[in-house]
A and B are shown apart, each in its own frame.
Chain A
Amino acid sequence: MARVVVDVMLKPEILDPQGQAVQRALPRLGYEGITEVRQGKRFELEVAEPVDDAALARVREMADALLANTVIEDYTVRVEEPDPAQAAA
């Protein structure tokens, strides 16, 4: 079993008022020097089959159809390698 991660972010030209609110909150907590925050979504898909090119193509289909709204969002797909320390445990 493998994990495929889909990260969804608003396109750069789309205003992100939530990210802006987070960015404005940081100095109030004493964290200076953060000039911009953009907020997105992360999906972790546990895939039963081996993750080959066909499986990744299917994940991209899912992202296009449901996980992201490509009118306003971009996404990236990547395979997350299992942590060897955890796998051994």
Chain B
Amino acid sequence: MTAHPEASGLGRIGVVTFPGSLDDGDARRAVRLAGGEPVALWHRDADLRGVDAVILPGGFSYGDYLRCGAIARFSPVMGKVSEAAREGLPVLGICNGFQILCESHLLPGALTRNDHLHFVCRDQRLRIENAATAWTADYVPGEAITVPLKNGEGGYIADEATLDALEAEGRVVARYLGGNPNGSRRDIAGVTNEAGNVVGLMPHPEHAVESLTGPTTDGLGFFTSVLKKLVTA
């Protein structure tokens, strides 16, 4: 890849803002605290401004109309993100971002209404199952972390054959500990694609990056992982 004119030497991580995104500010802040350079991307952007990785943040893009993530999937910027993701660009979808990645078929399965129908908002323990993805290399396999979780439609669903394949290929990135908060099959909190560059996660690591505002700083590893990968790439 040729150097982009705006390149600063730091890892430049794009954070997409859709109409209805909520956590784009926190995601940019997490990138900065991890030592990277956050780059704001807009849903109507037709190019990715030469970023080295992309985060699709949480929120309610396009008001969750039709299905969560269903409209965002067709935004101009997502055309570029999908293209680049298939070529290996690291992409992390958090919460609504995970829903968008599933709707885009960059990740298998779908996210549906929590089985108990209530919105859940709490600090959630997770086990990192796959510490080899672009976004989890700074964790140890089996490591337990605590980050906020907040969703109404966070139940991860896929058919049994897909779930079996995800397990067999080590593509479950994180699992819920201490009780399943939303009816996700096999306690799945996050999954990755075959190449390990695209990760979708229902809980919010970007809300756990400093002790003043987060329950822990356990979420920082997602952002430092990708920045390290960019330096060594």
Taking beta carbons and an 8 Å cutoff, which residues of A are in contact with B?
10, 13-15, 17-18, 21, 66-67, 69, 71-72
Alpha-carbon separation in the docked complex, A58 to B189 (Å): 36
Interface residues of B (CB under 8 A from A): 66-67, 70, 74, 102-103, 108-110, 112-117, 155, 157-159, 183
Smallest CB gap from B74: residue in A: A66
In the complex, the answer to whether B66 meets A72 with C-beta atoms within 8 Å is: no
The residue that B113 contacts in the complex, of A18, A66, A67, with Cβ under 8 A, is: A18
Report B12 CB to chain A, min CB distance, Å. 32
A67 neighbours in B (Cβ, 8 Å): 66
Q: Is the interface of B mostly helix, strand, loop or mixed?
A: loop
Contact B157 A72 (CB under 8 A): yes
Most A-side CB within 10 Å, residue of B103, B113, B115, B183: B113
Contact: B103 with A21, CB < 8 Å? no
- A17, B66: Cβ atoms under 8 Å? no
From A13, A17, A71, B110 is in contact (CB under 8 Å) with A71
Residues of A within 8 A of B109 (CB): 71
Check A66/B115 contact, CB under 8 A, given A71-B109, A71-B158, A72-B110: no
**Chain B neighbourhood of A17, CB < 8 A:** 113-117, 183
Q: How far is the CA of A18 from the CA of B113 in the complex (A)?
A: 8
Indicate the member of A17, A67, A69 with the most B CB atoms within 10 Å: A69
Smallest distance from the beta carbon of A83 to chain B beta carbons, Å? 28
Q: How far is the CA of A51 from the CA of B158 in the complex (A)?
A: 35
Q: Are A72's CB and B117's CB within 8 A?
A: no
Q: Among the listed B102, B108, B117, B157, which residue makes an inter-chain contact with A21, where contact means beta carbons less than 8 Å apart?
A: B117
- Alpha-carbon distance between A67 and B110 when the two chains are bound, in angstroms: 15
Tell me the complex Cα distance, A69–B74, Å: 14
Cβ-neighbour of B70 out of A14, A21, A66 (below 8 A): A66
Closest Cβ neighbor of A11 among chain B residues: B159
- Which residues of B are found within 8 Å of A66, using beta-carbon distances? 66, 70, 74
Contact, CB under 8 Å: B110 / A15: no
- For residue A21, which residue of chain B has the nearest CB? B117
Which chain A residue has the least Cβ–Cβ distance from B67?
A69
Q: Determine the chain A residues whose CB is within 8 A of the CB of B157 once the complex forms.
A: 14-15, 71-72
Q: Which 6 A-B pairs have the closest CB atoms?
A: A71-B110, A72-B110, A17-B115, A17-B117, A17-B113, A69-B67
What residues of chain B lie closer than 8 Å to A71, measured between beta carbons?
102, 108-110, 157-158
User: Could you tell me the distance in whole angstroms from the C-beta of A13 to the nearest C-beta in chain B?
Assistant: 8
Contact indicator A18/B117 (Cβ below 8 Å): yes
Given contacts A17-B116, A69-B67, 11 further A-B contacts (CB under 8 A): A13-B159, A15-B183, A17-B114, A17-B117, A18-B113, A69-B103, A71-B110, A71-B157, A71-B158, A72-B110, A72-B112
Contact A69 B110 (CB under 8 A): yes
CA distance A56 to B188 in the complex (A): 38
CA distance A17 to B112 in the complex (A): 10
